[in-house]
A and B are shown apart, each in its own frame.
Chain A
Amino acid sequence: QSVLTQPPSVSAAPGQKVTISCSGSSSNIGNNFVSWYQQLPGTAPKLLIYENNKRPSGIPDRFSGSKSGTSATLGITGLQTGDEADYYCGTWDSSLSVGVFGGGTRVTVL
């Protein structure tokens, strides 16, 4: 049981948009920055979004992040087959003094 809650899977056709939600609490998302990671099959996780909505160099603007209260959302527009991967949200939990991740969401391009 993960501290942060994500839907297990989302899917859409190529070119469409998907959103992935990440729900937490005041001790984690509510008072800390949220980051998002993409894990392509058989590879290490890769940082997609940091500080709620910032993209590292090289990450296309098709990927976006937002946060409101104790929830965060990752959006992917112009979906491509290469976007098929597992996506994880993560943050710090100030009450527990631990890092926390969501359970992951598998994105499928139909």
Chain B
Amino acid sequence: EVQLLESGGALVQPGGSLRLSCIVSGFTFSNYAMSWVRQAPGKGLEWVSAIGGGVTTYYADSVKGRFTISRDNSKNTLYLQMNSLRVEDTALYYCAKGPKEGAMDYWGQGTLVTVSS
């Protein structure tokens, strides 16, 4: 059974930093691209970042230069380092398996990041 479990969400002040983690099981982690998708309260889905099976990374313009996606294949874990956080980064952050041909086939339950003074 495929499982994705996010952690690391918290209340942080504007300008602060946070690192999210997503530990996965049930598939060969190193063989798949992985993504972070966020959802602000009451809003739609927003793609944030993706990383290939190796080191190729992609970022939404809204987070480029502030967020860094990485992975540790030995630990089956995906990370999102978030720096210079802004109020508008407040959202539920989902970890997702994929994209594979554009689709994300499994999602975690999300971890909540709140940026507020």
Contact = CB atoms under 8 A, between A and B. Distances in A.
A contact face: mostly helix, strand, loop, or mixed: strand
B109 to A, nearest CB: 5
Looking at chain B's contact residues, the main secondary structure is strand
Interface string B60-83: 110000000000000000000000
Interface in A71-97: 86, 88, 90-92, 97
Contacts of B47: 90, 98-101
B45 A90 contact: yes
Interface in B76-115: 94, 96, 99, 101-110
Contacts of A90: 45, 47, 102-104
B91 to A, nearest CB: 13
The 4 A-B residue pairs with the shortest CB-CB distance in the complex, in nearest-first order: A99-B47, A35-B103, A50-B103, A104-B44
Interface of B: 35, 37, 44-47, 50, 58-61, 94, 96, 99, 101-110
Interface of A: 2, 32-35, 37, 39, 44-47, 50-51, 56, 86, 88, 90-92, 97-104
